[in-house]
Structure 1
């Protein structure tokens, strides 16, 4: 019995020692676990902080992404507006080109019409000049006939005067008598038109002259009162140049026919002549 009791006591002591050893062993593991747990909590807190930082960054990125999306949408709207404006501008350019082409065609048509009208006007002026020349030739022929008739009358009067003078003076020298015994005067009568008195009027400028067509254009002040059909006698430096007959007056321009006997070489473009009134 005593041996059994002793064995039990030994076993109890060994159990207690084992329990103490086990306690210390478990306590060490618990400390390790506690340290590991604290480390895990610290890692979790760090991870949580990193997660929050990451979430904050994600939020910031989402905000930036939203801003970029809005900016992209705005850029798209602006691009669409620019495309629309570009299309409108192209349409305007096309329309302007069409209008310019139409205007150019109208200008060409007007130029052709103006050219045709100028040709018709020149043709009409030539015809008018020809008609006016025919009338002037007829008037000149009538004037020549009148002068010839007047000259014949003067010759008859002169012959009568010579006969009367010869009967009154029978004794004359050979130098003053003819073979028939009539008196021969020492002068001759001019068959040209009698000189007319006049005054030198204002100046007019030669704008253009066509010797082949017999037409001259003057620049003259409308206040001079030059009218169609009037005959202008032209002088320069008190020397007679000739005469012209007015066939058209328009806006300070005087179109006239150059009458026979006029010195066309004296009618230089840009030169000035005076009217003998």
Structure 2
């Protein structure tokens, strides 16, 4: 009996020792598992932070891409507008060149007419000289014929002078149009429809004979008044300023003027009675 009791005690002691050993081993494994869990949680937190940072970078890149696309669209729109403006400018230049060619043809025609009239005047002068030389001859020209020849010469000289005046104005008109086309190709200008303030002495009434809105030219009938080439005038109608012009040339009571840049030609009407104020 004593041996059985001793054996049972030994078995109990061994079991207790085994249980204790198992407890400590389990406790160590639990600590290891706890550390592994904490490490896994830390790694997960780091992954989430990296993912959040990546999402932020993606959002930033999307914003940059949207801005780049917007800039590209704006650049495309500006390019299309520039192309349209360039096409319009080319058409305008072509139209101006066509007008200049037509004006040059008119100028050449006026020169031909002037030369023809000059030839007719010279021929009539020769006839008059011949008639005067033979006036002592009974068979020579009569006084009536001489008077008719002199009258014809006077008429032709007047027509020749009118043609010279028209030729001068045409040359001035072409030069002004070329200058205006050059100014517009360099950048152009905007019309100003606002009436200018009126200061100064008003002239007697004059008449606007012609208005060429394409060329920006005005032909004024001055009557008894006189102006000088290069002089600037403020045109006034019903005590309201309608535009400023600069005199290019004058002849026989008429003045060819250029509508100044920045002034609108819409209020200057052919046939209108206006007054002017001389500008400094």
> Shorter-normalised TM-score: what interval?
0.3 to 0.5
Bigger-Rg structure (1/2): 1
Q: TM-score, normalised by structure 1?
A: 0.44
